[in-house]
Chains A and B, each alone.
Chain A
Amino acid sequence: MSLRVLVGVKRVIDYAVKVRVKPDKTGVVTDGVKHSMNPFDEIAIEEAVRMKEKNIVKEIIAVSCGPQQCQETIRTALAMGADRGIHVEVAGKEYEAMQPFHVSKILAKLAQEEKVDIVLVGKQAIDDDCNQTGQMTAALLDWSQACFASKVEKTDGELTVTREIDGGLEVIKVKLPAVITSDLRLNEPRYATLPNIMKAKKKPMAKKTAADLGVDLTPRHEVLSVEDPPVREAGIKVETVEDLVGKLKQSGVI
């Protein structure tokens, strides 16, 4: 029971919300829209808590970068079983332009400051689908990485991680310290219940800025345009198999 884990939790538009593109095509509408914790990050927190319950992990620190409301996301992580939180406040234009590169620099710096053994993040966020933060954090720290994990086991000073890859599973051993990114099948996260929600309010949450961590938030790439996917064209209904074959021939498919 000795490991310390840093878990990244991102506040994203709730998975059940229908996302709308802003009229000026600079991004998506976020005002007045329900937000919640990125589902892959929920899986990451759950895994850390399970490791704590198996006495592999001693302390779990949940970190979120973004506006004030990120503190709600951190509170959810604390209710799920994280021990304390760090809110790295990034607001306004800086937040809109923040990219995985900046988040991974923040995570890498915090990992060193907090002397953690594992950085655990979701494999990607459901808003931008970048799938970059974990990998870049590992690169910046020069740590082992185990991405798309569907099983994590501790063996001596190493971790045995089962990874989801195209067409199957890959089992690898990584030395600690390491960065792990969680895939969908790693676990099923618990719901926060009343006693845990109440107790989470008493858990410590530190507030920092990117400047405190020496991280420059200048954007490294520019978003040119965000567009809605093309609207699907209406189909037609055919009455018989002959009609169907005729239509398919007509359109050159067969």
Chain B
Amino acid sequence: MKAVICSVIHKLGTFSRQSATSRTIFTAGLNGVRPEHEGYATDNGGKIYLSDVMQNIKENTEISRDHLTPEIALHLITPNCKLWTALDGDIIFPDPFWAFYWPGGQVLTSFVELNIRLNAELNRVHLHIDQRNLLGTVAEKWDVILLGDMFYDEVFTKVVADWLEILQRDFKKLILIGDPGRAAFVRHPISTKLKRVAKCELHPQCKMENNGLTYGYVWQYSS
């Protein structure tokens, strides 16, 4: 069985580093992997080194297993990190969406692990990362489509929902969605076509990152 996991790619984006004398702005569009010493060209003609990026991430995050899939350790911004209380202007990573383990992704990962024993079969799972935008493409080669936290914004919700409708109606794919019940999702008509297959209380840490949200849900799309 072939499954595709859809998620939003959170780029490191514009990376700024404060020094005593100057403020250097780097742009890190990290496409593909290169040796650490080669560096990436930036918009302003400079270079950024992967080792610097990794160092910055290590310095500003904490390795955390405080989430619904504790067998996976992740570098995350937690209340123990100084960026937790940083205001927009003070941070070296603008909008570090990648530094938080989103609730829909947590509950979906946990559900998938439980139900298809991903861990046990890890050695036989072939993982392929495709950075192209697959929305709107015909997903013929996959049997299962998994989406985590894709419904956080009204416009994007519509794009994803239209795509899923076609996949379900014309191709009868198995579609599983992880979402904590965000407004854009629950208000969209797609929610009437979903069957809830899992509900999980979020960890206190995750609740703190998502004021007002308390549960993560996995939904199965059915016509």
A: residues with CB less than 8 A from B are: 49, 52-53, 55, 59-60, 79-84, 190-199, 201-204
B16 on interface, CB distance cutoff 8 Å: no
List, in ascending order, chain B residues with CB within 8 A of A81's CB: 211-213
- In the assembled complex, the CB of A206 is this many whole angstroms from the nearest CB of chain B, namely 10
Could you tell me if B83 and A52 are in contact, using CB atoms closer than 8 angstroms? no
Tell me the complex Cα distance, A159–B39, Å. Answer: 61
Closest residue of B by beta carbon distance from A82: B212
Q: Do residues A84 and B85 form an inter-chain contact, with CB atoms below 8 A?
A: no
Among B85, B184, B186, the residue within 8 A (CB) of A194 is B85
Supposing A83-B183, A194-B77, A194-B84 touch, asked if A204 and B211 sit within 8 A by C-beta, the answer is no
Residues of A contacting B120 with CB < 8 Å?
A: none
Contact indicator B211/A80 (Cβ below 8 Å)? yes
Q: Which residues of B are found within 8 Å of A195, using beta-carbon distances? A: 77, 84, 100, 208-210
Q: How far is the CB of A35 from chain B (nearest CB, A)?
A: 16
Cβ-closest chain B residue relative to A57: B212
Report the minimum CB–CB distance from B102 to chain A (whole Å). Answer: 9
Task: Return A208 CB to nearest CB of chain B, in Å.
Answer: 16
Check A196 against B84 for contact (C-beta < 8 Å). no
Task: Please state if A204 and B183 are interface contacts (CB–CB under 8 Å).
Answer: yes
Interface residues of B (CB under 8 A from A): 77, 79, 83-88, 91, 95-97, 100, 152-154, 182-184, 186, 207-214
Assuming the contacts A55-B214, A201-B95, A204-B154, asked whether A196 and B183 have C-beta atoms less than 8 A apart, the reply is: no
CB pair A53 B183 closer than 8 Å: no
**Residue contact A199 to B210, C-beta cutoff 8 Å:** yes
The CA-CA distance from A202 to B157 in the complex, in Å, is 11
A32 CB to nearest B CB, Å: 19
On whether the beta carbons of A198 and B97 are closer than 8 Å, the reply is yes
| Given A198-B95, A202-B153, A52 contacting B212 (CB threshold 8 A) | yes
Closest to B212 in A: A81
Which residues in B have their C-beta under 8 angstroms from that of A84? 183
Q: Is the CB–CB distance between B91 and A194 below 8 Å?
A: yes
A80 to B211, CA, bound (A): 6
CA distance A202 to B185 in the complex (A): 12
- 5 additional A-B pairs beyond A79-B211, A83-B182, A204-B154, beta carbons within 8 Å, are A49-B212, A53-B212, A190-B211, A196-B211, A203-B182
- How many angstroms from the CA of A97 to the CA of B40 in the assembled complex? 56
Question: What are 29 of the A-B contact pairs (CB < 8 Å)?
Answer: A52-B212, A53-B212, A53-B214, A55-B214, A60-B212, A81-B212, A83-B182, A83-B183, A84-B183, A191-B85, A193-B85, A193-B209, A194-B83, A194-B84, A194-B96, A195-B208, A196-B209, A196-B211, A197-B87, A197-B88, A198-B96, A199-B152, A199-B209, A199-B210, A202-B152, A203-B183, A203-B184, A204-B153, A204-B183
A193 to B97 alpha-carbon distance, docked (Å): 13
Which residues of chain A are within 8 angstroms of B96 by Cβ–Cβ distance? 194, 198
Complex CA–CA separation, A191 to B208 (angstroms): 11
**Cα A84 to Cα B185 with chains together (Å):** 12
CB neighbours of A204 from chain B (8 A): 153-154, 183-184
B94 CB, nearest partner CB in chain A, Å: 9
The CA of A198 and the CA of B152, in the complex, are separated in Å by 12
* Smallest CB gap from B86: residue in A: A194
**Given contact pairs A194-B77, A195-B210, A59 touches B183 in the complex (Cβ within 8 A):** yes
| Min C-beta distance of B202 to chain A, whole Å | 10
Q: Given the complex, which residues of A lie within 8 Å of B79, measured CB to CB?
A: 193
